[in-house]
Amino acid sequence: MQKIAVLISGRGSNMLSLAARCREERWPARIVAVISNRPGAAGLEAATGLGLPAESIDHKAFAERADFDAALAERLEALEVDWIVLAGFMRVLGEAFVARFEGRIVNIHPSLLPSFPGLHTHRRALEAGVRLHGATVHLVTSSLDLGPIVAQAAVPVLDGDDPDGLAERVLAVEHRLYPMALRWLVEGRIIVEGQRCRLRDPREGEMQWFVASPPA
């Protein structure tokens, strides 16, 4: 049984969707910790409500970013985690941390990478005039938001969209996309070939790319 740690900074909505699907679909894995860099994060209480172990490591308690990274790494190693899953974790992890857990850190980013890495993705997508936006699950490397892409989901950009409305529709597909991609990883069905990921033995109804219709 593989061990998953989910790192959050806020309300943890993706963490909740991951936890629900992990239990419902009986993955060969379990969430052994939900860890926040913000002690007051609402997601910690939500995790506790699901019976998940929840704790915080306050980044403000460390003078240097590297010191926080080291404390987080030590905790994750003590938990003997197989996967580190970033779910709204608003800290950039340093190169030493990423190297320590190479190939085992997963993130979801609210854009169709490599377009719009970094912050304010929905506003930037609207300003650029794109007709498709979405979310990307990728493995984390030392290059911000540029690791191998596991899966993506697209939503249309609608006339009259504002950043908040677009963000809401993207988040809805994140809640479907992230559990699907993470399940592939824990089942050992993702083959990484350089910057490309390939799904081994696709099952009926599975695909690495899907276009989600906007809610009615």
pLDDT score of 99 = 97
Q: What is the pLDDT of residue 201?
A: 85
For the stretch 43-70, pLDDT in tens is 999 999 999 999 999 999 999 999 999 9
Q: What is the pLDDT of residue 207?
A: 61
Rounded Cα–Cα distance for residues 99 and 12 (Å): 25
Per-residue confidence (pLDDT) for residue 214, from 0 to 100: 39
| pTM for this prediction | 0.94
Distance CA 114, CA 144 (A): 10
Relative orientation angle of helices 121-128 and 163-186, to the nearest 10 degrees: 120
Q: Assess whether the region 1-101 and the region 109-216 belong to the same CATH fold.
A: yes
Residue 42: both structure tokens together: 């609402």
Secondary structure of residue 159 in the 3-state scheme: coil
Q: Which two tokens stand for residue 201?
A: 């033995």
- Domain edges within the chain: 1-101, 109-216
The catalytically annotated residue of 109, 122, 133, 138 is 109
Question: Which residues of the chain register pLDDT less than 50?
Answer: 208, 210-216
pLDDT of residue 203: 80
Is residue 196 helix, strand or coil? strand
Q: What angle do CA 139, 178, 149 make, to 5 degrees?
A: 30
User: What confidence score (pLDDT) does residue 202 get?
Assistant: 84
CATH 3.30.70.890 assigned to domain 1-101? The reply is no
The CA distance from 24 to 60, in Å, is 36
The verdict on whether 175 is a catalytic residue reads no
As assigned by CATH, the class of the 109-216 domain is alpha beta
